[in-house]
Structure 1
Amino acid sequence: MRFITNGFVAAGAMLALALPSAASADVVVRGKEGKPLDEIREAPASISNDLKTIVAQPSPSEVKPEFLGPVVLMKSGHIDLEKGTVTLPLRRGRLASGKPVWFIITDTTDENLSNLHGVNYAPKMAYGETSMAARSVTIEKDGSFVFNTGSVDFSPKLSIVPGPANAPFPPKSFQPGAVGDATYTPLVKIANAAKDVLLNAPVLSMASEAELNTMCAGKVDYDKVHDKVTAICPRDGTVTIRLTLGFTFDKPIQYISTEANDPLVATLENAIYTPALNGLPSMLEDASPGESAERIVVVVNGPTGKDNPHRQGLVSALSGEGGPLNVLGGIPTINLDYSPLWRVFPAVWTDEAIQKGYRYRMTSALQAAEMSTRGYLKSLDGGEFRAVGFIVNCPVVYRIN
Structure 2
Amino acid sequence: MNTMLARAGRLAIASAIALPFSTSPTLAQVVNRGIEGKPLSEIRPAPKSIYPDQKVITAEPAPSDVNEAFLGPVLLMKSARVDLEAGTVTLPLRRGRLASGETVWSILTDTTDENLSKLHGVPYSPKLAYGLTGKAVREAHIEKDGTIVFASGRVDFSPEWKITPGAAPNPFPPKAAQPGSVGNADYSPLVRFDNGKNAVFNMPMMAFNVSEQKLDTMCSGNVDHHLVHDKVVAICPRDGTVTIKLTLGYTFGKPIFYISTEANDQTVATLETATYAPALSDLPFALEDASPGEAAERLYTFVNGPTGIDNPFRQGINSALSDAGSHGPLNVLGGIPTINLDYSPMWRVFPVKWTDEAIRKGYRTKMTDAIAIEDAGERGIIESIAGGPPKPVGFVVNCPVVYRVN
Residue 201 (str. 1) matches residue 203 (str. 2): yes
Where structure 2 has 5 or more consecutive residues not aligned to the other structure, the ranges are 1-19
Residue 300 (str. 1) matches residue 299 (str. 2): no
* Partner Cα separation in structure 1 for residue 394 and residue 248 of structure 2: 23
Deviation of 1:17 after TM superposition, in Å, equals 4.5
Match of 2:338 among 324, 328, 333: 333
Instruction: Give 1:398's aligned residue.
Output: 403
Task: Supply the AA of the counterpart residue of 2:353.
Answer: V
Deviation of 1:340 after TM superposition, in Å, equals 0.1
Instruction: Give 1:3's aligned residue.
Output: none
Task: Supply the AA of the counterpart residue of 1:56.
Answer: A
Instruction: Give 1:353's aligned residue.
Output: 358
Task: Supply the AA of the counterpart residue of 1:315.
Answer: N
Is residue 332–residue 338 contact of structure 1 (8 Å, CA) maintained in 2? yes
Instruction: Give 1:315's aligned residue.
Output: 318
Instruction: Give 1:11's aligned residue.
Output: none
Instruction: Give 1:171's aligned residue.
Output: 174
Deviation of 1:18 after TM superposition, in Å, equals 1.4
* Partner Cα separation in structure 1 for residue 42 and residue 85 of structure 2: 20
* Partner Cα separation in structure 2 for residue 151 and residue 127 of structure 1: 23
TM normalised by structure 1 equals 0.94
Task: Supply the AA of the counterpart residue of 1:44.
Answer: P
Q: Secondary structure at the match of 1:215?
A: coil
Residue 95 (str. 1) matches residue 98 (str. 2): yes
Q: Percent identity?
A: 65
| Alignment map for 1:156-305 (pairs within 5 Å) | 156-193=159-196, 195-206=197-208, 207-305=210-308
Task: Supply the AA of the counterpart residue of 2:319.
Answer: S
Deviation of 1:209 after TM superposition, in Å, equals 1.2
| Alignment map for 1:35-46 (pairs within 5 Å) | 35-46=38-49
Higher relative contact order by CA 8 Å / sep ≥ 6: 1 or 2?
1
| Alignment map for 1:1-16 (pairs within 5 Å) | none
Is residue 135–residue 148 contact of structure 1 (8 Å, CA) maintained in 2? yes
Deviation of 1:19 after TM superposition, in Å, equals 2.2
Q: Secondary structure at the match of 1:264?
A: helix
Q: Deviations over 1:58-115 (max 9, x none)?
A: 0000000000000000010100000000000000000011100000000000001101
Task: Supply the AA of the counterpart residue of 1:199.
Answer: F
* Partner Cα separation in structure 2 for residue 28 and residue 140 of structure 1: 35
Is residue 16–residue 237 contact of structure 1 (8 Å, CA) maintained in 2? no
Task: Supply the AA of the counterpart residue of 1:213.
Answer: D
Deviation of 1:320 after TM superposition, in Å, equals 2.6
Instruction: Give 1:7's aligned residue.
Output: none
Task: Supply the AA of the counterpart residue of 1:351.
Answer: D
Deviates more, 1:132-141 or 1:302-311: 132-141
* Partner Cα separation in structure 1 for residue 135 and residue 184 of structure 2: 13
* Partner Cα separation in structure 1 for residue 76 and residue 143 of structure 2: 28
Where structure 1 has 5 or more consecutive residues not aligned to the other structure, the ranges are 1-14
TM normalised by structure 2 equals 0.93
Deviation of 1:384 after TM superposition, in Å, equals 3.1
Instruction: Give 2:87's aligned residue.
Output: 84
Residue 66 (str. 1) matches residue 69 (str. 2): yes
* Partner Cα separation in structure 2 for residue 43 and residue 62 of structure 1: 19
* Partner Cα separation in structure 1 for residue 35 and residue 228 of structure 2: 32
* Partner Cα separation in structure 1 for residue 146 and residue 66 of structure 2: 36
Residues 262 and 398 of structure 1: CA distance in aligned 2, closer, same or farther (over 3 Å): same
Instruction: Give 1:115's aligned residue.
Output: 118
Deviates more, 1:48-57 or 1:125-134: 125-134
The count of residues paired between Structure 1 and Structure 2 equals: 385
Q: Secondary structure at the match of 2:132?
A: helix
Instruction: Give 2:4's aligned residue.
Output: none
Match of 1:381 among 370, 386, 391: 386
Instruction: Give 1:366's aligned residue.
Output: 371
* Partner Cα separation in structure 1 for residue 21 and residue 220 of structure 2: 18
Deviation of 1:304 after TM superposition, in Å, equals 1.0
Deviation of 1:190 after TM superposition, in Å, equals 1.1
